[in-house]
Structure 1
């Protein structure tokens, strides 16, 4: 018997070690990791600089209450905001960051309604689950939080119809991750930003999976030339140490005064020390341009499979966040199992999309090795 709730469909392999782009199971079988712990280990496993930062902080204070000043939090916030006028709230996860964003949007605007999109994923707690446009994930948990409407992604007319003066915010992912690696169209996202400003509604961009360099810019929205009012991030922010953050424009800060929102563990010293190192390593032009180059190579090579196999319908994504749409859920299951048998780990997204999220530090040789395995299994 297991002493755990069965809420995860767990594989039998138990990953007990990792180094760089590889992980090792309980039998010491080595796997090329194209999951990064679902977009978490962007700097790879046991990254030396991350290890050093963590080791240094373990010899200092690990946790202090948020009732006291925290220089580390200030330093990380400054690096996250990249010189722009945002204030930062630190928490422990992506879903917590989105909960904070929802609360801030409603409190700052005095409005209640929030518009999100079908196939979106924003988390599992009640507010974040209610923002998620996937009824299957909400089943069994009704009543969910009221005030959310779900619109078709990349369509402007439905948004115009719903964007009334009671809308606090529009909340979206630049690339829908769990929904099937679906990128926003640039003109659409720019139009969404414009409509929000005209309606005095806030634009919340969920960068939980797309942020911290995953798509080739530090935040994915940077490639779209938009400026959200609220940004949420987590997953890769501390390369596996739990941390999340919500960034909001400084004029919104007065809505989150003392006692309005909080967390016990959010912004703890261990997470902040590692997050500072991660941001410093990733938010560099040379690092990000390498992600773009590797992502373009991976996407171009995989796109050839559209003509080579009737199982492959489309290839999409940006940077090292790539989705391969297959012809059926059954094919997807077979491919993921086949990849595992060939010692490559990959993920699903939506019902029939193979999701590839290798570490951003993956080498060209490792990318080519992974591509070879993917081709063999699909063909």
Structure 2
């Protein structure tokens, strides 16, 4: 049976990984500066991660949410401790799209309204409401287009004010650093005014932290670079270092009721074990400090390369913009230099999303390769 052909694939077959490297079926070593869309947060096959998953699967891999699972509470407490998001409540699911779907559903439950405001170049997932809030008509089917969504330019505070004052908006959803869109960011004034407008208009402010969260921006969450208090925070990707897990943090002003959200696999024992291993490693290895130090070093080296026209992003969610499309450059980096990098909707942008424990030696290796390719 053939696979449904929806992914353009590079001719590389990874079979193992260790730290910041992966190895293909021919034994070739690749430097992974992309982490499978920012999923690999603590490195491939990290000993803490392997140990936690192995011990858990040997004990109990899965049972449904019909029973007590103390690992969920441990994970919630650890997120609270490391993020500083006090008094929020955690709902666990399986992916970023599912996290945003539940965030928007919860916002609609809370407000009794149904329209969503999102922003140009934003990406929030591929499920029904999440994809409708995504600024990409090519992936929105007619069934998704039934959703009531208004997409505004980033930093258009007058537009946000006008839409919220119509009284039918349940949620404003925003990435504080856009991922697939190309690492654009709004201003502090914009984000902080949106937060105020949401609170004044009975609208939930949803922080999509699926890619920019979990220490990647240099703080635990990217919204923490600003003076805002989201009502709902969605998370996934780096949360499980490759194990499927997602979730939303829910402000205590939103009351839970039995049955309003649900999932079969969300918050299962293996997922929680993986999630705890990631958080423990972030804490033990001071990976937020490392993210900031390596970001500063990366940017300082990037500034010395004249072909790089702009450096975008924060922390270890970075983009290098050129005056040409980077598709061929990425192929050369993969096939000639054995390095994984990412692209974006901005075809001139090279995305860098490495594991958070990257070192200077890896950054030097990348830039030496980049200079060779650019010549």
TM over 0.5: yes
CA distance in 1, matches of 2:46, 2:132: 36
> Which residue number in structure 2 is paired with residue 154 of structure 1?
155
Are residues 313 and 142 of structure 1, via their aligned partners in 2, closer, same or farther at CA, if it must alter by over 3 Å?
farther
Tell me the equivalent position of 1:28. Answer: 27
Q: Structure 1: where are the runs of 5+ without partners?
A: none
Report the CA distance shift for 1:285/1:202 in structure 2 as closer, same or farther (over 3 A).
Answer: farther
Provide the residue aligned with 2:269 in structure 1.
269
Match of 2:253 in 1: 251
Q: Does 1:357 align with 2:356?
A: no
Q: TM-score under structure 1 normalisation?
A: 0.94
Q: Name the structure 2 match of 1:42.
A: 41
| 2:327 corresponds to | 333
Contact 2:297 2:360 in 1 (8 A): no
1:354 is paired with a residue whose SS is strand
Contact 2:294 2:360 in 1 (8 A): yes
Q: 1:54 to 1:211 in 2, by over 3 A?
A: same
Partner of 1:343: 338
Q: Judge conservation of contact 2:128–2:144 (CA < 8 Å) in 1.
A: no
- Conservation of the 8 A alpha-carbon contact between 1:213 and 1:283: no
The 2-side partners of 1:192 and 1:268 are apart by: 35
SS in 1 for 2:355: coil
Report if the CA contact (8 A) 2:330-2:342 is conserved: yes
Provide the C-alpha distance between the structure 2 equivalents of 1:79 and 1:143, rounded to a whole number of angstroms.
36
Contact 2:94 2:267 in 1 (8 A): yes
What is the CA RMSD across the aligned residues, in angstroms?
1.5
Q: Does 1:70 align with 2:74?
A: no
CA contact (8 A) 1:299 1:316 kept: no
Which residue of 209, 218, 221 maps to 1:219?
221
Query: Which sits farther off after the overlay, 123-132 or 156-165?
Result: 156-165
Corresponding residue SS for 2:205: strand
User: Per-residue CA shift, 1:114-172, capped at 9, x if unaligned?
Assistant: 1000100000111110111222322x545524211000012212212212221111100
1:368 aligns with 2:364: yes
1:320 to 294, 301, 316: 316
How does 1:52-67 map onto structure 2 within 5 Å? 52-67=51-66
Q: Counterparts of 1:285 and 1:167 in 2: how far apart (Å)?
A: 42
TM-score, structure 2 length as denominator?
0.95
Deviation of residue 301 (structure 1)?
1.6
Q: Measured at CA, do residues 182 and 270 of structure 1 come closer, stay the same or move farther in structure 2, by a change above 3 Å?
A: same
How far does residue 272 in structure 1 lie from its aligned partner after superposition?
0.1
- How many residues align? The count is 369
**How far is 1:184 from its partner?**
2.5
Other-structure match for 1:297: 297
SS at match of 2:333: helix
* 99-108 or 197-206: bigger deviation: 197-206
- The residue that corresponds to 2:282 in the other structure is 282
Query: For residues 224 and 280 of structure 2, what CA distance do their matches in structure 1 show?
Result: 18
Q: Is the 8 A contact 2:30 2:340 kept in 1?
A: yes
Distance 1:182 1:299 in 2: 16
Q: What is the deviation of 1:201? A: 1.1
2:30 aligns to what SS in structure 1? Answer: strand
Check conservation: 1:202, 1:230, Cα contact below 8 A.
yes
Shift of 1:253: 2.9
Partners in 2 of 1:161 and 1:313 — Cα distance? Answer: 36
What is the correspondence of 1:175-214 to structure 2 with a 5 Å cutoff?
A: 175-214=177-216
- In the TM superposition, residue 333 of structure 1 has moved relative to its aligned partner by 0.8
Structure 2 residue matching 1:175: 3-state secondary structure: coil
Structure 2 residue corresponding to 1:239, chosen from 233, 241, 244 = 241
Would you say the 8 A contact 2:129–2:147 is kept in 1?
A: no
Instruction: Note if 1:134 corresponds to 2:136.
Output: yes
Once the two structures are TM-superposed, the CA of residue 283 in structure 1 deviates from its matched residue by 4.4
1:95 corresponding residue in structure 2: 97
State the 1:81 CA deviation. Answer: 2.9
1:122 paired to 2:124: yes
Are the structure 2 counterparts of residues 280 and 99 from structure 1 closer, same or farther at C-alpha, using a change threshold of 3 Å? same
